[in-house]
Amino acid sequence: MGGAPAPMQAVIPWGFAHEDAAGLARALTDAARFGFRHLLVPVPAALAHRAEAIAAALPPLPHLPQVQFAPVVQFAPVAAATGDALARVAPLLEPVFLLVDPGQVVEANWLELALRAPPGGHALAVAGASAAAPAGLALLGRDALPPGADLPALLRGLAADARTALWRLPADAVRPVHAGTPARPPRPALFLDRDGTLNADYGYVSDPTRLVLLPGATAAVKRANDLGWSVFLVTNQSGVGRGYYAEADVIACNAALHDLLRAQGAHLDDIRYAADHPEALEARYRAATGWRKPAPGMLTDLMAHWPVRREASLMVGDKDSDVAAGEAAGIRGLLCDGGDLDALLAPYLHPPA
């Protein structure tokens, strides 16, 4: 696993030690933000309908994850219940997965855990200087879970094992969930254009296999991720309206771009694209949506779903229309020229105050 891309499965046991609705909502939302597409929720059978209702009440999750609830009959003592539940759903576990404690909020770039994991080993996030305080995230192999394991004891044992990579987080980066914990807290946001800003623009980019990231693109996105900013993709795709390619091609390219970034520990929180154009071949794409830049619709729609601190946010692109869209949405616009994106953005990206 060392330096490998993060796994695609996040496992969120809920209802064994914690029954907070806020904790499950936040864990599902964050896992989807970080690009985990298979979200497995082991849950006591008696609480399965409640867990499903919590998930159904959430705004749409990004990157179209599959959320699977796995009801289990709880026989084990409370101390070992979560480990017992994981053993019972072992056939549903992928060979490597991220274990998420829904009772804790971890304000950090979760993908960093995969970058730190040794080959064939495990990785744990720990809070502060003490390795005895697992911080709600663990990158595990399926074979690390013996039947009937007392999960807290297992994690403490892994934390004490020299072969386990420890990701030490500041103590204030981890905190218990409470009833008022928001699923989507306000954050500064980095809104990014796609073609000519993150990847090379060869004209109507539509082939996922031809995506080439520009210098500093991954580093800039990861810098924002590490600082706790939201990162959103907002891209005009008039090639759809003009009939050059289909919306499915846009979606495939956006997914491929996200996967390229994610392989290096960076992620896009959410994505919007505008397929309309005044000269579109089909009437449905000629209708003005208010999303095509320089109109601000993509940005305002994202801000309707994700609380954004506008005064601290940026809209970055290679065209004047990108800057204009940001300004129309109340976001500072910044023009890039295809050079090193990280070098351009570093002076503007700061930890949230």
Q: With CA atoms as reference, report the closest residue to 215 among 43, 67, 337.
A: 337
Sheet arrangement for strand 9-11:
66-72, 38-44, 9-11, 96-100, 134-141, 123-127, 165-169
Q: What is the DSSP string of 117-182?
A: PPTT--EEEEETT-TTSEEEEEEEEGGG--TT--HHHHHHHHHT-TTSEEEEEPGGGEEE--TT--
Burial class (CB in 10 A: 0-12, 13-18, 19+), 1: buried
d(CA 207, CA 200): 12
If DSSP codes are grouped into helix, strand and coil, which group holds residue 275?
Answer: coil
> Residue 96: beta bridge partners?
141
d(CA 3, CA 350): 26
Q: With CA atoms as reference, report the closest residue to 158 among 170, 149, 147, 171.
A: 149
Contact call for residues 193 and 235 (beta carbons, < 8 A): yes
> Residue 127: beta bridge partners?
169
**Distance between start and end Cα atoms, the chain:** 35
Structure tokens at 142: 């399926």
> Residue 139: beta bridge partners?
98, 123
Residues designated as active site: 193, 195
Residue with tokens 């990847």: 199
Instruction: List all residues 6 or more positions away from 143 whose beta carbon is below 8 Å from its beta carbon.
Output: none
If DSSP codes are grouped into helix, strand and coil, which group holds residue 315?
Answer: strand
d(CA 87, CA 44): 13
